Structure 1
Amino acid sequence: MTRVLVYTRTAGYRHASIPAAVAAVSALTAVQVRHTEDPGALHDLSGHDVVMFLSTTEDVLDARGRASLRSFVLGGGGFAGVHSAAGTELHDPWYGELLGARFRGHPDGVQQATLYRPDGEPWKFTDEWYAFDELRDDLEILLTVDEATYAPGAYAMPEPHPQAWRRAVGAGRSWYTALGHTEQAWSDPVFLAHLRDGIAYAAGA
């Protein structure tokens, strides 16, 4: 059983999909979820295998929580970031390293687009399509979005345009997906399989 601390604290925009998201993660097989919005819950992470930042926004940790999360991951724990986790802790340089990039923005609204896995298999999905700055060069890209299949506007990126990735961080692991804006995403079996694989990677499976 993978013990996951699901953290959904927001200090800015709050996604209406958060309740559906927490319910969906809690329903995954072989996953034991503890859900919280209390920064103090991150002061001691010894009882968990993975910390998930699920649609968090802006600064959501105190100094002790930042130090605890860093020690947890560097010591072998797992981190999973979902959607606006990329727009979180923007003033903490180490969090940017942990996540692997920084959120730059997205075009207005949700759009259907085509994603590609590393094997070239396409996947049509409807979401907000994030653009990023400060991408690390050691990311293993898991999903890219085809900009020809939606309107990126000012948020185009050089190809490939990543939407999910993973990387080792110290003795631990970090996994991130930009997907998950809509409530409907959290009942999509392909998206949930993507999420389950991310949790498994972060847990070291």
Structure 2
Amino acid sequence: MSRPFRILIFSRTTSYRHASIPAGIQALHRLASSSSLERHPFTADDTEDPSVFCAESLSAYRAIILLQCSGEFLDDNQLDALKGFVRSGGGVVAVHCASFAMQSSEWYGRLIGAVFNHHPEPQTGCIRILDPAHPIMACQRPRGDVNNTHPPELSERSWLDEWYNFKAHPRTASAALNVLLTVDEKSYDGGVHGNDHPIAWCQTFDGGRCFYTSLGHFDEAYENDWFLGQLLGAILWVAGLQV
């Protein structure tokens, strides 16, 4: 077992605020607590105080979770600290509304991989798992599946959420994105991206790693093992560790 590393859960909002933020914070602390007996344990701090975004404070963390952040949640100096964190190899896990944040920053948009535009009313849709072999998607594999095989019955999943549409198609925004999940627009009303509608992806970016998922609008997501497995896999992946 390795020495525990630290993650920062940051959930400041200056625009729309999701009611599921407390559920997300609690779930991430549960993941940290349960990691104590795993190969890569970690501890979690949570705050909405943007003063933590300075080089000295961020140096204590291996990954930052941008949990439902919205609006201009960082000033210029704090954004520079986030840039320095990423450029020094730090990892970022961005959840749901984080793509609606910091729209004044082109760099931040590229870090996340897409910029939120609008969404239809929440509906049940069909999620397609595109890259089941990726470490972040280890939650898709039964325990002991050392060969990374992927049962066909797990290639799709029904899910209730807000289905985000983006200002530009994520694949056109960055050729480096590894899309992990898409949603079938034929399974709900209001999609604008066609047959290929990414909703979760990861990338290496500007010296660090980032994972983004547009899922997570409702409290129930943070009680769901499939979704939490992705967040856990993402934390370890952006931190440069094996799942």
**Which bin holds the TM-score, normalised by the shorter protein?**
over 0.9
Of 97, 103, 110, 1:90 maps to 103
Deviating 4+ runs (over 3 angstroms)? none
CA distance in 1, matches of 2:76, 2:62: 21
CA apart distance, 1:171:
2.2
Match of 1:77 in 2: 90
Match of 1:115 in 2: 127
> What TM-score, normalized to structure 1?
0.95
Q: Name the SS for the 2:240 alignment partner.
A: coil
Structure 1 residue ranges without an equivalent (≥5): none
CA radius of gyration, larger in: 2
Aligned length: 202
Does residue 196 of the first structure (1) align with residue 232 of the second (2)? yes
| Residues 159-198 of structure 1: CA deviation (Å, up to 9, x unaligned) | 3100100000122101100011001111011111011111
State the one-letter code of the partner of 2:76.
A
Structure 2 residue ranges without an equivalent (≥5): 36-40, 133-151
Contact 2:185 2:194 in 1 (8 A): no
Indicate the structure with greater helix content: 2
CA apart distance, 1:31:
3.1
CA apart distance, 1:145:
0.3
Match of 2:51 in 1: 40
CA apart distance, 1:75:
1.3
CA distance in 1, matches of 2:29, 2:181: 24
CA distance in 2, matches of 1:35, 1:186: 16
Alpha carbon RMSD of aligned pairs, Å?
1.2
Pairs within 5 Å for 1:47-196: 47-108=60-121, 110-118=122-130, 119=132, 121-134=155-168, 135=170, 136-152=174-190, 155-196=191-232
CA apart distance, 1:133:
2.4
Indicate the structure with greater strand content: 1
CA distance in 2, matches of 1:82, 1:190: 15
Give the fraction of aligned pairs with identical amino acids, expressed as a percent.
36
